[in-house]
Structure 1
Amino acid sequence: MSVGFSDLNLRPANKADVRSLCLAALEAGFKTVAVNTEVDANVFAKKGKKGETDGSKIIPEPLDLDILKKELDGRLQILQRLTVQIADSLQAHKLFQSNAVMKYDILAVQPLNPQAFQHACASMDVDIVSFDATDCAPLKAARKVVRQARERGVYFEAQYWPLVSSSATRRNTIAIMHSLHAVGRGRALVVLTSGAAAPNHLRSPYDVANLALLLGLSEESAKNCMRHATRNVLLNAQARRMGKGMVFGQVTRPVNDKIVEENGIPPTKRRKKDSSASQQVSAAG
């Protein structure tokens, strides 16, 4: 799977803004993007017909982007991402009661407190753990929790738009990422995204690589966070959605032919020689 430079977090305010964001990402140099649908933690408090929380309908259906995908086919791969805020393990459990969750290509959660952060890293079957730098204090990360996330292939999201949007979000984002680097000893899995809500929020991958120096990432590491890390996220997400499977292989050329070819004798000549020898034996009989 080759995805090129990827931005796995475009945040359009409505469906009408999706096209302009995708075109801006394409012009900036990205080959793969994910359109993000965000769900607030308050939805878990909604009541069903019987007065109970309706866990099966808290997640909206993905946007219908078939027309846009056909328009940009071959130039830009468009995926769908779901990001859900969670405050406790009960909300995390209710999240997976919704059938719509599996319709998204990428699943991310945004913990609102240290307890939810620990649960997401250690137990939840998600692809990305995100942070909201606009209205929550930096989460205190424990070394064990970060290690558990790495062992499970869960990536942490670093967004660059909060770095330039305001001083408060810049301070929170830098603090969160430096905490992850320190606790994870530089081995935390990180994916770098924009979090862009408008086309003018986007930057080219090379500009982002320079901007990521504020997050403690080298230029090369930042490029890997937009290329190789995003590829791993997509592979892990595909495995999560498809479940366990089996791969079957088939030999397309006889092994003897390969050995003969390595010894300098083309397989076709060897087969002709063997065929002639068989005919001589038959005639002698």
Structure 2
Amino acid sequence: MLTSHPSKRSASQVAPVWIDLVDPSEDERKQAAAALGARLPTRDQISAIELSSRLRSDQEILRLNIPAFVRNEDGQGAMTPLGFVLTPKLLVSLRYADSIAFKHMAEVAGSDSAPHDSIDTFVGIIEAIVNVGADRMEAIASDLSKLTRTVFADSRDQRRQLRGALFKVGSLQRQITQIRAAMLGVSRVVSYLCEVSPPWIDKKHYGQFKTVHADIGSLAEFDQQLSDRLQFLLDAVLGFINNDQNDIMKVLTVITVVTIPPMILAGIWGMNFKSIGEYNWPHGYAFALTMIAISVIVPLLWFKWKRWF
């Protein structure tokens, strides 16, 4: 899909400042390349992880690629690459999934406060990506707090909730990892522009890039806190599960020890030999039942004294 955005909503504005390509067809790629006056990178080229393929400057053309970008910023599905081709007059973005940040920027581009040029548009997209990442981290922190209260709640159905907590921890970890990867790609792009800024990027935009870089640094610290909390929660969940397993093994051990003596007595007195003297006892049956009951009660009292219950 190809979407063209002018700088301002007016009839006199014909040439776009931003062309957004979402999983484009070959014809859409040709249209965007013709408007740009330069070739567009393929998906494999955008996905390349080597730094020379990610960030390239050629006269008045900047090629900025993020190999792993969050798919719709919800942590669901595989990550997709994101590429930018930036010139002083036009910005072309190539992506292969929906994005909340791009949706927000498209709404801004269609309003009266639309960006004046391609550089303003690019800065707005980067800021939107960082803002959405920050909002998603805050949502993850809230989910993590709720999950922590659930795990450490002393409730009867805690054991049943532990399995669900493991799946939730895995989902949160996946979201954090994806946001971290996306923010790392954006950070490298911004750092590159701060260090190797072309002359057609003025001081105002340079200052905005520095601010975005500082924001990403703050998000990295917050991301580390989330990772530490998530690791602690994972250890706690596994610890509770191990305790539950130990309790089960303790019960099975008690049952085994308690049932061994009566089984031995019943096996001895159940043998069919005429020489067994207890056969002739008038109250032999009652005596056997009494001894079996005592052999059960005594181990139970001993385990109770040891506080195994």
The TM-score range, normalised by the shorter chain, is: under 0.3
Q: Normalising to structure 2: TM-score of the pair? A: 0.26
Bigger relative contact order (CA 8 A; separation at least 6) = 1
